[in-house]
Chains A and B, each alone.
Chain A
Amino acid sequence: MKAAGSMQGKLGLGVALTAVAGAAHALAEPWQLNMTPGVTQTSREVYDLHMWGLYVCIAIGVVVFGAMIVAMVKFRKSKGAVPATWSHNTVAETIWTIVPILILVALAWPATNIMIKMAYTEQSDMTVKITGYQWKWGYDYLNVGEKPYHVHFISRIDPRSDRTRELRSGQDPWAVKDKDYQGVERNTYLLDVDHPLVLPTDTKIRFVVTGDDVIHAWWVPQLGWKQDAIPGIINDDWTSIHEPGIYRGQCAELCGQDHGFMPIVVKAVPKAEFTKWLDEQEALATKADAPAASPTAAPSAP
């Protein structure tokens, strides 16, 4: 936190870009050039680190490419340049070995701080299990605080996107639209699902991530990370979303023919609304006697 804070101070431009880009956009914009800062503290720190790395690279690039351009203009045979015969310079070589080390430390320091915070999944308020299947996502709400839940559902690509994405379907990807959280119509082609993952805002949510068949990766860019969903392995992550909204992502690890067609939608709602929704789902889930029947218990929208 400290590192990121001081970094933001150093990176006035980064902050300005952050404001312009607007954290609330859950979808990429046409011609978008850069990462967006996202909607969690983590994602903003990751974004600042990304911008810090980018500025460092641009600065080095200006120096190195600038020197090349000067050399190419000044030391041309056509301008009568006579070649020098020197071929080493201990001072220069020492400088350009030491200076990069300092630059790397300046990059690694904030990265390390962010990593330590991202890895700390303890003291969470609730736990959701994410399972990757070929080619859909399974979500289990395991507990909120001390209270266990039994809500489970499968989240698939929405039928309109699914029809449109068929080979030579004749349907227009631009026509697949849905209202976003603010009620504005936006294109959701391949980025919409039948049942979104509903989460509360301002809550530390722990995810346990696994795969059922092959390796998938659960990625919502606005949350600031992705995690591989691997059969036989359980990984854990956490997030705490600040702004209510609909945040969209996709599977990010090649998982077979429909890898491109297993989107992720997170619907972040205020805590009270979430609790009401979850309790309704819990009632539905526990009403069904056989646990095997629960996967088909589709949640209703909150």
Chain B
Amino acid sequence: MTTHATAHHDDHHDDKPHGFLHRWVYSTNHKDIGTLYLIFAFIMVCVGAAFSGVIRTELMKPGLQFVQPYFFNEMTTMHGLVMIFGAIMPSFVGLANWMIPMMIGAPDMALPRMNNWSFWILPFAFFLLLSTLFIPGGAPAGGWTMYPPLSIQGGDSVALMVFSIHLMGISSIMGAINIIATILNMRAPGMDLLKMPVFVWSWLITAFLLIAVMPVLAGAVTMLLTDRYFGTSFFNAAGGGDPVMYQHIFWFFGHPEVYIMILPAFGIISEIVPTFSRKPLFGYQAMVYALASIAFLSFIVWGHHMFTVGMPLGGELYFMYATMLIAIPTGVKVFNWVSTMWGGSMTFEAPMLWAIAFIVLFTIGGFSGVMLALVPADFQYQDTYFVVAHFHYVLVTGALFAIIGAIYYWWPKWTGRMYNETWAKVHFWWSAVFVNVLFFPQHFLGLAGMPRRIPDYNVAFADWNLVSTIGAYGMYLTPFMFFFILWHSKKHGAPAAARAWEGAHGLEWTVPSPAPFHTFSTPPVIHDEDLAHGDVSH
């Protein structure tokens, strides 16, 4: 039997390196590097949340009580950069590292030494970025989008920010190359492309997006750097440049970036929902094609982030229509998840709860996305709290909820221990309530006329801001809950079976829990019934 043979074989040379330095700093093991990514992302979530704490506390009531407006702008900027590049993206890369080799029957990532470098660049990138808080002139304060001319009015934080983004870009590109090389070259015999788990598909497509757009971002910020320090005028109107050109370049990166942060989440949900519905994923091939269509469309819709810059009518119409098309493949995904649940035999363990919350709340974020695509309405919504609500629904209750669901889902495989289901349910319901208290009122604020990125506001906006801040304070407890639940499980959790969930399919569940340090050193013999999707006929 595959499971047994693999386990036995792996035990034979389960030679974890000894000593902290050798185990973690020199690591070339995909599981250890995955763990490093996830720990790093967890720390960054806490840092980013602390920044948002400053924002929400200052916005609790009208008048400035705690910080100067400039520092407030530093906080909004750093919150965005840290959460996007430090929390969400590394979390997904960590999950990819842990799971992709185990899901396709590969012994490790294709390029293990580069894998080590991909990770260890990140702490230095964020050291540069976070150090700007302590230099003269303070941290970047021009928004995470770094629009010139404002973004280059700052002090030397501009240079540190640009170099840090270069490093993040190098890290992401190397990670993406590694993932593509692994998926295309290291699949076990019998793991056809159209038998791969949807999570692996989602990452294959995401990795191509990363390779395509991270260099674009690097180029854009390099032009900011030379405008700031070397007298070029790429974006300086007085020198013949064009500030709007920056926005076109930035959003050519930025819109695919949005999908880089959500496609792996789609993959995760497509793993969790069939498992706890005990029914195969509905419309597997449609799901794969939908992922690919969304990825393709992401390259041709960037203008919808900048409807108010004064593009010609034809351009605005094009970007509106193209953007609306995204609703079709996204709708297919949502309908297919619901159809997977339909006719199943559902149980509601923590991963499933997070997945269901994802489907509902991400869809709400999608609805506001459709509304934002309508250009005349966008003229009202643009740069208001309506937009803030929209992207927090897709990024927090979307991406982050999927990540938390994934951690609960694969935790027994990683550690060999179950978590406490009751506490996990408390963690879930607490988060589900407070995240909506936090973000739903921001729709109202935006529609009532409150711009984003302001430290103070008219008293008419006071009530919903207070509600939103209460929601935020509720959410600040959740990282502690999560940490405690996982720590407790690691120490005292009940042992997990190899197939930790009754309805789970896929190669990762054929190896013991915890997964040995080396898995699939010899390729497994794949039985189609082990796979979530062993039948390529549909």
Q: Do A and B bind each other?
A: yes
Residues of B within 8 Å of A256, CB to CB, are: 70, 73, 141, 150, 153
The answer to whether the Cβ of A298 comes within 8 Å of any Cβ in the partner chain is no
Q: How far is the CB of A119 from chain B (nearest CB, A)?
A: 4
Any chain B CB within 8 A of the CB of A286? no
Contacting residues, chain B, for A104 (C-beta < 8 A) = 324-325, 327-328
User: Are the CB atoms of B142 and A254 closer together than 8 Å?
Assistant: yes
- Interface range on chain B: under 10, 10 to 19, 20 to 34, or 35 or more? 35 or more
User: Does residue B63 face the partner (Cβ distance < 8 Å to A)?
Assistant: yes
Of A213, A225, A236, which contacts B380 at CB under 8 A?
A225
Q: Which of A100, A119, A187, A214 touches B153 (beta carbons < 8 Å)?
A: A214
**Interchain Cβ contacts within 8 Å, total number:** 306
B444–A33 contact, CB under 8 A?
Answer: yes
CB distance from B247 to the nearest CB of A (A): 9
Measured CA separation A101–B331 after assembly (Å): 10
CB-CB under 8 A from A189, the residues of chain B are: 62, 458-459
Q: Is the CB of B363 within 8 A of A83?
A: no
Q: Answer whether A46 and B376 are a contact pair too, CB < 8 Å, given A28-B448, A71-B338, A119-B313.
A: yes
Which residues of the other chain, B, contact A101 by a CB distance below 8 angstroms?
A: 328
The residues of A that contact B284 with a CB separation of less than 8 Å are: 87-88
- Of A10-18, A54-62, A122-130, A138-146, the segment with at least 4 beta carbons within 8 Å of chain B is A54-62
- A115: which of B242, B317, B348 is its contact (CB, 8 Å)? B317
Does B371 lie at the interface of the complex (its beta carbon under 8 Å from any beta carbon of A)? yes
Chain B interface, >50% SS class = helix
Indicate if the CB atoms of A33 and B447 lie closer than 8 Å: yes
Q: Across the two chains, which residue of chain A brings its CB closest to B282?
A: A87
Within 8 A of A (CB), among B303-344: 308-310, 313, 316-317, 320-321, 324-325, 327-328, 331-332, 334-335, 338-344
B419 to chain A minimum Cβ distance, whole angstroms, is 20
Verify A233–B237 contact, CB threshold 8 A. yes
**Does B356 count as interface, using CB distance less than 8 angstroms?**
yes
Contact assessment for A190 and B375 in the assembled complex, using a CB-CB cutoff below 8 Å: no
Stretch of B164-172, B248-256, B272-280 lying at the A interface? B272-280
**Which of chain A's residues have a CB closer than 8 A to the CB of B356?**
68, 72
Checking A76, A215, A251 against B149 with a beta-carbon cut-off of 8 angstroms, the contacting residue is A215
Q: Take A61-B363, A100-B328 as given contacts and tell me if A250 and B343 are in contact as well, using a CB distance cutoff of 8 Å.
A: no
Partner-binding segment picked from B40-48, B260-268, B461-469: B461-469
Residue of B nearest to A119 (CB): B313
Asked if B327 and A64 make an inter-chain contact with CB atoms under 8 angstroms apart, the answer reads no
The answer, among A92, A116, A217, for a CB contact under 8 Å with B308, is A217
B-side contacts of A230, CB under 8 Å: 237, 243-244, 309-310
Q: Which segment, of B183-191, B221-229, B427-435, B449-457, faces chain A?
A: B449-457
Inter-chain contact A27/B328, CB cutoff 8 Å: no
Bound: A31/B379 CA distance, A:
23
Check: B374 CB closer than 8 A to any chain A CB: yes
Question: From A249, which residue of chain B is reached at the shortest CB distance?
Answer: B449
**A75 B347 Cβ-Cβ under 8 A:** no
A76 pairs with B379, CB closer than 8 A: no
Cβ-neighbour of A96 out of B67, B310, B332 (below 8 A): B332
> Is A227 on the interface with B (CB-CB < 8 A)?
yes
A133 to chain B, nearest CB (A): 13
Q: Taking the complex as formed, is B132 at the interface, i.e. its CB lies under 8 A from any CB of chain A?
A: no
Is A49 close to B, CB under 8 A?
yes
Within the assembled complex, what's the spacing in Å between the Cα atoms of A140 and B371? 35
Report whether A118 and B376 are in contact in the complex, using a CB–CB cutoff of 8 Å. yes
Residues of A within 8 A of B371 (CB): 50, 53-54, 57
Residues of chain A within 8 A (CB-CB) of B69 are 257-261
- Chain B residue nearest to A42 (CB atoms) is B376
A29 within 8 Å of B by Cβ?
A: yes
Nearest residue (CB) in B for A187 is B459
B346: A residues at CB distance < 8 A: 71-72, 75-77, 81
* Given contact pairs A61-B367, A111-B374, A84 touches B73 in the complex (Cβ within 8 A): no
A111 near B377: Cβ-Cβ < 8 Å:
yes
Given contacts A46-B376, A112-B317, contact A215 B344 (CB under 8 A): no
Judged by a CB distance under 8 angstroms, whether A183 is at the interface is no
With the chains together, A258 CA to B497 CA distance in Å?
Answer: 58
Q: Please state if A251 and B451 are interface contacts (CB–CB under 8 Å).
A: yes
Q: Say if the beta carbon of A165 comes within 8 Å of chain B.
A: yes
Q: Which of A168-176, A193-201, A274-282 has 4 or more CB atoms under 8 Å from chain B? A: A168-176
Given A68-B341, A93-B286, A30-B320 contact (CB < 8 Å):
no
Name B residues whose Cβ lies closer than 8 Å to a Cβ of A: 62-70, 73, 141-143, 147, 149-150, 153, 237-238, 241-244, 277-284, 286, 308-310, 313, 316-317, 320-321, 324-325, 327-328, 331-332, 334-335, 338-348, 356, 359-360, 363-364, 367-368, 370-371, 374-377, 379-380, 382-384, 444, 447-464, 503, 538
Question: Which chain A residues have a beta carbon within 8 Å of chain B's beta carbons?
Answer: 27-35, 42, 45-46, 49-50, 53-54, 56-57, 60-61, 64-65, 67-68, 71-72, 75-78, 81-89, 92-93, 96-97, 100-101, 104, 107-108, 111-112, 114-116, 118-119, 164-169, 171-174, 187-191, 209, 213-215, 217, 219, 221, 224-228, 230-233, 235-236, 249-261
Further pairs besides A65-B363, A115-B317, A253-B147: 9, Cβ < 8 Å:
A50-B371, A50-B374, A71-B346, A72-B341, A72-B356, A171-B63, A224-B376, A254-B452, A257-B68
Q: 20 A-B residue contacts at CB 8 Å?
A: A35-B447, A46-B377, A71-B343, A77-B278, A81-B345, A83-B345, A88-B286, A119-B313, A167-B65, A172-B63, A187-B459, A217-B383, A224-B376, A232-B238, A233-B309, A235-B310, A253-B383, A254-B143, A259-B453, A260-B451
Rank and list the top 3 A-B pairs by shortest CB-CB distance, nearest first.
Answer: A232-B237, A260-B454, A235-B310
